[in-house]
């Protein structure tokens, strides 16, 4: 019997309608939503798109960029790309994309989204980490009632992305929005100690952190030292993709990890649908759910993002790789479906 084929990646070719120069090293790419398939690109604030970037050496590479548009405020899709030193994807996009260009794009993915728009939010960004933060900010203002504090760190004033837009939001909503800029050229690098002082008045808020790894580590440590529980601290991390999620062969190759070793049983709660499935011990959970027609979230399928994260409520699994989830996540039963294989005979899994 042949192995079941995984569904297609869901990629579609989108046209770039505008290219907005944000700073000397960052641009926003605005995509038209396809009229024949608008539901495929419905998204939540804080999610990201995965773009296929042409490459002379490998055919293409895949790069993830957060959406800076808001589904509650904007009619088009927009991602913001900041040049990275020696970064092939970001430099190619900044140098080559013009209005009328087309890009192959995977559907929106990611879980960096507030559960309630009425709670108070502490949005912490470093550099291009402002991208999902501004999407959350615009959505919270349009849909919610809570206060929003943005702490935004940059190298210098000319590096501040969305500076004018942030100023407008503070003027329009002075009772709800506070923006605190941290400039390395003026104040030096932010440390855990200085960030803890900045965050202290907002220790009751729900915090979202995105930016360079060292900045996120310092921010997370500061928030943790202030006593914010894990459920009120969310961090957005991306790792370099080792495989190309646009490549069907690579996706199929990842489906089977070991010789046949029998089956477990998995109970899945996803979007109100409960299913009981036989789970081959050599098959990753995400592959199983997709084969069974369940609309499980995913993006990279390599454990390099958290788009496929779910919670193990009963039983135990092992992950082939994990460089994205923190120990606190693991302690709460959070796993990556794209990397999970069953350990116990019965496993219960739920998606938030």
CB 176 within 8 A of CB 202: no
pLDDT band at 5 (very low <50, low <70, confident <90, very high): very low
Greatest pairwise CA separation for the chain in angstroms: 66
Q: Can you give the pLDDT at residue 257?
A: 47
Give me the percent of the chain exceeding a pLDDT of 90: 70
User: Under CATH, what is the fold of the domain 121-236?
Assistant: Rossmann fold (3.40.50)
State the average pLDDT over residues 10-19: 92
- Which pLDDT value is given to residue 7? 44
Alpha carbons within 13 angstroms on the beta-carbon side of residue 130 total 28
Summarize the confidence of residues 69-77 as an average pLDDT.
93
Determine whether 150 is exposed, middle or buried from the number of CB atoms within 10 Å of its CB (0-12, 13-18, 19+).
Answer: buried
Domain limits, the chain: 12-105, 121-236, 251-350
- Mean pLDDT over residues 296-314, rounded? 85
pLDDT at 230: 86
Determine the Cα–Cα distance for residues 311 and 94; give it in Å rounded to an integer.
38
How far apart (Å, rounded) are the C-alpha atoms in residues 92 and 264? 45
Tell me what pLDDT residue 8 has: 53
Note the Cα 84 to chain centre separation in Å. Answer: 18
Q: Residue 111: what pLDDT?
A: 81
The structural architecture, per CATH, of the domain 251-350 is Roll (3.10)
pLDDT at 244: 66
Q: Of the given ranges (204-213, 241-250, 275-284, 320-329), which has the lowest mean pLDDT? A: 241-250
On the question of pLDDT at 288 being above 50, the answer is: yes
Domain at 12-105: CATH code: 2.40.30.10
Residue with tokens 């999970």: 340
Q: Among 261, 286, 289, 284, which residue's Cα sits nearest to residue 274?
A: 289
pLDDT at 281 over 80: yes
| pLDDT (tens digit per residue) in 95-146 | 999 999 999 998 888 888 998 999 999 999 999 999 999 999 999 999 999 9
Q: Which of 224-228, 235-239, 267-271, 317-321 has the lowest mean pLDDT?
A: 235-239
Q: Do domains 12-105 and 121-236 have the same CATH topology?
A: no
pLDDT of residue 45: 96
Whole-number pLDDT of residue 2: 32
Region label for 301, one of left (φ > 0), alpha (ψ between -120 and 50) or beta (otherwise): left
């Amino acid at each position: 019997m042949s192995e079941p084929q995984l569904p297609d990646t869901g990629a579609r070719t989108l046209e770039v309608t505008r290219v907005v120069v944000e700073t000397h090293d960052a641009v926003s790419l605005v995509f038209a939503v396809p009229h024949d398939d608008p539901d495929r690109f419905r998204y939540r604030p804080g999610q990201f798109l995965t773009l296929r970037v042409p490459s002379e050496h490998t055919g293409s590479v895949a790069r993830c960029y957060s959406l800076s548009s808001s589904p509650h405020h904007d009619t088009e899709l927009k991602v913001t790309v900041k040049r990275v030193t020696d970064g092939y994807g970001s430099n190619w996009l900044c140098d080559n994309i013009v209005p009328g260009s087309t890009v192959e794009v995977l559907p929106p993915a990611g879980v960096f989204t507030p559960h309630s728009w009425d709670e108070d939010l502490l949005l912490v960004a470093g550099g291009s980490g402002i991208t999902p933060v501004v999407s959350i900010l615009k959505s919270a203002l349009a849909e919610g009632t809570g206060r929003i504090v943005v702490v935004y760190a940059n190298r210098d004033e000319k590096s501040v992305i969305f500076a004018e837009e942030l100023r407008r939001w503070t003027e329009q909503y002075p009772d709800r929005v506070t923006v605190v800029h941290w400039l390395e050229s003026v104040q030096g690098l932010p440390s855990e100690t200085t960030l803890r002082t900045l965050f202290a008045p907002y220790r009751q808020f729900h915090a979202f952190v995105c930016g360079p790894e060292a900045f996120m580590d310092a921010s997370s440590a500061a928030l943790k030292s202030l006593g914010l529980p894990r459920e009120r601290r969310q961090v957005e991390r991306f790792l370099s993709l080792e495989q190309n999620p646009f490549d069907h062969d690579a996706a199929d190759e990842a489906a089977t990890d070991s010789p046949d070793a029998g089956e477990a049983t998995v109970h899945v709660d996803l979007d109100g649908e409960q299913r009981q499935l036989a789970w081959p011990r050599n098959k990753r959970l995400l592959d199983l759910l997709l084969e069974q027609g369940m609309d499980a979230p995913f993006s990279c399928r390599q454990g390099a993002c958290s788009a496929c994260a779910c919670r193990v409520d009963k039983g135990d699994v092992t992950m082939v790789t994990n460089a994205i989830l923190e120990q606190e996540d693991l302690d709460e039963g959070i796993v990556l479906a794209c990397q999970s294989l069953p350990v116990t005979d019965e496993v219960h899994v739920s998606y938030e």
